[in-house]
Amino acid sequence: MTDGRSTPAGRRRLVLFGPPGSGKGTQAQLLGAQTGQHHLATGDILRAERAQGTALGARVGGYMDRGELVPDEVIISVMAAHLQGLERRGFVFDGFPRTVAQAEALDSMLAAIRRPLQAVVVLEVPAEVLERRLLGRAEVEGRSDDTPETVRTRMRIYQESTAAVLAYYSARLPVVRIDGDRPVALVHRAVLQAVGISMPDPG
């Protein structure tokens, strides 16, 4: 990642991509904490809107509970609002973009501030492991979209949209695939390595 390596870690702009349950939220958070990059997770943003009872929260609730994607124009305007004022920061995008239209919109928002994306990191985890993790998470966190039926919908939608989004990025940026079926700390180390950030040895 030549371009990325010349940018200080906290200023890099990355997308962390992966199926539901792949650990991308956890990894994006760890990466942001390590580097100072701003962690932008569309799922977290939408859940917060719902918890606060906003009009946006009400608009997206049904899609989320069914495990469907929220319409592109809604998500794109949410992201545009959240990018305001953060022009000088680095970013880890988590859960966004999920469609080619979103990827194109993100590219133009970042082009407007002359801060293009530098890499996409993909966490790969076998489907049966994902299903097990998501249903386990449902018991712990009580997320309304972790029921068996919505889990299946979310996996199917991910499978349907992944190929196009990854093809879009593969033609433009380094796309680094990482085995996400490992302990959190090992995956974190692999993510850092993939984006060219060296980490001190733990001891």
- The binding site for ligand AMP (CB under 6 A) comprises 20, 42-43, 46, 63-64, 67-70, 75, 95-98, 102, 145, 154
When the beta carbons of 39 and 154 are compared against ligand AMP, the nearer one is 154
What is the torsion angle, in degrees rounded to the nearest 10, for the CA atoms of residue 71, residue 45, residue 155 and residue 60?
A: -40
Residue 139 CA to residue 195 CA, distance in Å, equals: 33
Catalytic, out of 12, 13, 24, 133: 24
User: Is 24 a residue of the active site?
Assistant: yes
User: Is 137 a residue of the active site?
Assistant: yes
User: Is 143 a residue of the active site?
Assistant: yes
When the beta carbons of 63 and 162 are compared against ligand AMP, the nearer one is 63
User: Is 132 a residue of the active site?
Assistant: no
Using N-to-C axis directions, what is the helix angle for 55-66 and 42-51, rounded to 10°? 120
When the beta carbons of 35 and 42 are compared against ligand AMP, the nearer one is 42
Residue 173 CA to residue 13 CA, distance in Å, equals: 12
User: Nearest approach, Cβ of 113 to ligand AMP (angstroms)?
Assistant: 20
Active site positions, annotated: 24, 98, 137, 143, 154
